[in-house]
Structures are given as C-alpha cells and as structure tokens.
A = this chain, B = another copy of it.
Amino acid sequence: MALLSELTPILALVLCMVAGFLFLKSRAPETNDDEWVENNEEEDLAHVPYSPQRYPEETMLQRSKDFYSLMNQRRSVRFISPEPVPREVIDRGQLQVVLTQSPGHLDTKHKIRLIVEEEEEVNYRQRMGDKWVHDLARLRTNWIKEYLDVAPYLILIFKQTHGILLNGKKKTHYYNEISVSISCGILLAALQNVGLVTVTTTPLNCGPQLRLLLKRPVNEKLLMLLPVGYPAADATVPDLKRKNLEEIMVAI
C-alpha cells in the first residue's frame, strides 16, 4: 500500500491516496524486468523462488467470469462528476502527476485545461486533417474538455525516455512507451475495479507545455492524460459494440 508522505502538508494530503494497484514503471519486456532500482548496475542479482497463490480450477473459472463481467462494463467516459473520490483510492505509476481538487490546485487544473483546449482547437481545425476529424465525428468530441476542470483527479502519465544514474550517465529505458502503456492498462483495470471512470486521452502537441507547467524534467514526456472520478449523472457513451472473440482471436 502507499506510504503516507512526510513531506509538505499539501503533498502529504495528496499522498494519502493509497497506491491502489499500479506498477507503471519503465518495463522492458524480456529486456528488463518490471522492477528496477535506478542505481543498481550489478550483474550479480539474486534470483529467488517464486510461488504465487494458486487457486483450484473452479475458483479460477469463477474469478475469470467475475473479472470479465467487471471489465466488460468498462467504457471510456468523457462526462465526469465533480463529486470527490475517496483519497485512498489511487494508482501507482511511472512519473504520474496526480492533480487533486484541493483549492490551491484548481488553478493548476484550469491552466491545464487552457493549454489542452488551445492546442486541441488547433488540432481539430488544422493539424489532424479532414480524415481524422471525420473519423472522430461520431464520438462527438471537440476541443472543449470540461472534464479537466470538473473531474476530482487528473492523472498525467509521463514516460521516462531514459533514466539518469547517480554518476550522471543515461540509463536506457527499453520499450518505455509499450511498458508505460501496459501499466496504464493495469490502472484502467484498477479504476474499473472500484467503480471509477476515465477516458485515456493523448492531447496532441500539449506535452511540452504541460511538462513545463508541471516542472517535469526533459527526460519525461507526456504519454496520456486521464481525468478520473465518478461518472456524471447524465453521462453518455457512444453506442458502439465490442467485437466478438472470433473476430479478434485466432486459435491454432
């Protein structure tokens, strides 16, 4: 579980949010393991036995059905209620910046909204081009992103393009975009697990300004922005249907 911070009161306030479930780190599949300690360059790392919990088959089947049922409800939700969320429910992630609804931070959230909407208007009017705008039309999105002000939390997920070791050298982060995205998937499962909603957004061209606003270093690049909260009372979703298994899986 997340540890209570002992930093400033504001950080302490926010860091009360228990790291729910998440392991967003620079994971490099088969080239680096999911946990890594920044400064440990030793080749001689102990390998320890691993015997995780094992369930009887009937339990596996039931858990599988329950989790499927849970995740099948999940949708991207763009209409989020301003209602506060218990602060103990949280994600852990690689270089996430979590913005909360405390008064001093409403200002920062609003600044984020101004940056995003300004860039998104250019995106919609120019950068994305006709085809992309057309493809988006049925989602009824535009550059107005009310959830950035309204949602109690904004989670900005940054990837570390490389690390910096104690000796100042660069540490390669293999497959950092895939790794962080995988972790984001686990975050989505965690949010679904507790009945919160979000939408995974990738605000085009907003990264550098947001990085500067939030005072993040140059080796951190914004990957995704997730507004998190309860769904708004009048929330809607596009009436899309998921593909069947046969359409997406080939068994050999």
Task: Give the interface of A toward B (CB within 8 A).
Answer: 1-3, 5, 7, 10-11, 14-15, 17-25, 27, 29-37, 42-55, 57, 60-61, 63-65, 67-68, 70-77, 86, 88-100, 105, 108, 128, 131-132, 134-141, 172, 174-175, 177-179, 181-190, 193-195, 197, 199-203, 214, 216, 223-224, 230-231, 234-246, 248-252
Contacts and interface: CB of A to CB of B under 8 A. Distances in A.
Contacts of A135: 31-32, 172, 174
A119 to B, nearest CB: 12
A248 B163 CA distance: 12
A144 to B, nearest CB: 13
A15 B245 contact: yes
Select the residue from A35, A140, A216 with max chain B CB neighbours within 10 A: A35
Contact of A182 (B36, B49, B96, B200): B200
A57 B86 contact: yes
A178 B181 contact: yes
Contacts of A188: 182, 185-186
Given A17-B251, A35-B240, A178 B177 contact: yes
Contacts of A134: 43
Contacts of A49: 234-236
Contacts of A90: 64, 249
Contacts of A14: 251-252
Given A15-B251, A47-B237, A131-B172, 8 more contacts: A10-B251, A21-B68, A32-B139, A43-B134, A43-B138, A99-B252, A100-B251, A108-B252
Contact of A186 (B33, B105, B189, B203): B189
B33 A93 contact: no
Nearest to A55: B195
